[in-house]
Amino acid sequence: MGQFEIKDNFYLNGEPFQVISGSIHYFRVVPEYWRDRLEKLKAMGCNTVETYIPWNAHEPKKGEFCFEGRLDLVKFVKIAEELGLYVILRPSPYICAEWEFGGLPAWLLQEDNMRLRAYYEPFLKHIRDYYDVLFPMITPLQITKGGPVIMMQVENEYGYYGDDTRYMEAMCDIMLERGVEVPLITSDGPFEESLSCGCLEGAQPTGNFGSRTKERFAVLSNYTNGGPLMCAEFWVGWFDHWGNGGHMKGNPDSPQDLDDMLDMGHVNIYMFEGGTNFGFMNGSNYYDELTPDVTSYDYDALLTEAGDFTQKYRDFQAVISKYREIPKVEFTTKITKKAYGEMTALEKVGLLEVLEDISEPIVDTFPVCMEKCGQSYGYILYHSPLQKEKNIERIRLWGANDRANIFVDKKPLVTLYDRELTGEYNVITQSVKKAEDVNGAKSAEEPKAEPVTFPVGAPLDILVENMGRVNFGPLMERQRKGIESCVQINGHIHYNWKMYPLPLDNLDKLDFSKGYTEGLPTFYRFELQVDECGDTFLELPGWGKGCVFLNGFNLGRYWEIGPQKRLYIPAPLLKQGKNEIIVFETEGKSSGRIVFWDEPDIG
């Protein structure tokens, strides 16, 4: 049994201990590579690894839990322990992390009036229920029980969000009641107001920042009561969002900032390795516009998304060597990269042709949002016949998020995204009148097109994509996806809908013999023959937007606007022999071919 204490410094079993940590998110790395990444962390000179714990991944549906495979947190911690690394756990229900909904489960939004990250009893009850399952797994891993866990975090950057001290106290009590014995920490932006809002009596305050260490630590010292200074997230890079123009880079002065941190205190490097937002688990930010993150969480970290060394890794290793001896580590995982070349689609089938095979409709007078349909991620299709309308001149989706492809009589009408969904689309002018312009002057634009006409009973289909729930700020409480309110056509509300949830977790039900309609959302099937499994990178030249599945596993999204151009496929996801790749293309753009490279291209 051991002991970790916070006094004027950190003390491990009575001796001063300098925390030199790096962040690895076990849920963003295939478990076959956990040991490799942890060995490389140790070889750089770190003595500790830090990780978040994503609630939405571990409890995807209320009362249904998963701690297996890529979510086997205990196994990850035990591998770290075998390598002689200590562990910092951040089990806060909210993690941010550029992760879908900041780690909160989408099913919270099934409840009307749900309030997040404040003293709101329905929210706290769900946390208690989750912690009743989680903490019996992680409390035995504490150093006081003979394990490697030395600290846990109460909440995450709460001072950026709110100032409800009663909520923070409740979160602390919930953890202590469930057996937490190691010291608790908070982490906040290095500013007076964020620290004052996020600090909590009984928890050590730490700061999150990526530069100007001496200045940031000076502010933090006003809140530590003479205790140690620690940067709990030393941002060495940044994340990419779709359409941002190129891969984001970190602070070029990071090695000097690291030196200053280790001279003055303690550090957790964010990220040591970023990993991948597999599936639909990327988050989004929203300031002036929606900015959903790409599939890669490379983060310009010390190891690349694929676990390769960078110059930044070597620079940081050199700095750390000034403060402790760098251990010799043997890397035990063989990793190779393969370029499997180009292949052509073998079959394709349209979404509308197989809709009834892969989704069971929900019928209602009104459109129903994704969460109320029991769905968290992916797409949802709204279908209704046009029985009374003679044409469409104007259409508006009320309460819609995030991106809607609208089809009339199985022909594309328009795609509306983000702020365009707050206004009315005019078929004649082919433009959107934003909500803020509704009471303004009439548009001076000349007509550009005729109203859309169709036979009586023609279908109206609206495919709405959840691009990733916002993971930061007050808009988190407005993240219901799909259509929550109504659809207006030519000024009147159109009723009577079928909702087809499309989480795309059952593509084994696709029947590729059912045909397709050119220009509409389509599934394409490929086969990859593999003799030797290696890491590879999938490119989709000439495609528009969609997602890719390998042997049923959701690799993530692609989008022609970049900056990410290739999807990372770790070798353990492949199998020797035949591998099936299914591409779901929503924009009707396809070259019908894909290419596998042995190197990334993330912009």
Question: Does residue 597 carry a pLDDT above 50?
Answer: yes
What is the overall mean pLDDT for the chain? 96
Marked catalytic residue, from 50, 233, 389, 539: 233
Neighbours of 331 (CB within 10 A): 12
Residue 46's nearest CA partner among 306, 455, 327, 399 is 327
**Which has the higher per-residue pLDDT, 600 or 446?**
600
Q: Residues 157, 353, 389, 539: which is the catalytic one? A: 157
**CA 141 – CA 135 distance, rounded (Å):** 10
**182-206 residues labelled b (16+ CB within 10 A) or e (exposed):** bebbbbbbbbeebbebbbbeebbbb
CATH architecture of 366-495: Sandwich (2.60)
Inform me whether the pLDDT recorded for 571 exceeds 70.
Answer: yes
Q: What percent of the chain has pLDDT over 90?
A: 97
Contact 524, 585 (CB under 8 A): yes
- pLDDT (0 to 100) of residue 439: 46
Q: How many CB atoms within 10 Å of residue 250?
A: 18
Q: Encode pLDDT of 374-430 as tens digits.
A: 999 999 999 999 999 999 999 999 999 999 999 999 999 999 999 999 999 999 999
Whole-angstrom Cα distance, residue 273 to residue 40?
10
Closest CA to 382 of 393, 392, 370, 371: 370
Architecture of domain 4-320: Alpha-Beta Barrel (3.20)
The ranges assigned to domains in the chain are 4-320, 341-349+505-597, 366-495
Q: How far apart, in whole angstroms, are the C-alpha atoms of residue 402 and residue 388?
A: 28
Q: Which CATH class is domain 341-349+505-597?
A: mainly beta
Query: CA–CA separation, 389 vs 454, rounded Å?
Result: 9
Active site annotation includes 157: yes
Q: What is the pLDDT of residue 446?
A: 58
Residue 477 annotated to the active site? no
Report H helices in 3-120: 34-44, 55-58, 73-82
Per-residue pLDDT at 512 exceeds 80: yes
Mean pLDDT of 212-220: 98
Fold match flag (4-320 vs 366-495): no
Dihedral sign (CA 541, 544, 545, 548): negative
* Span 429-456, pLDDT tens digits: 999 986 555 444 444 555 678 999 999 9
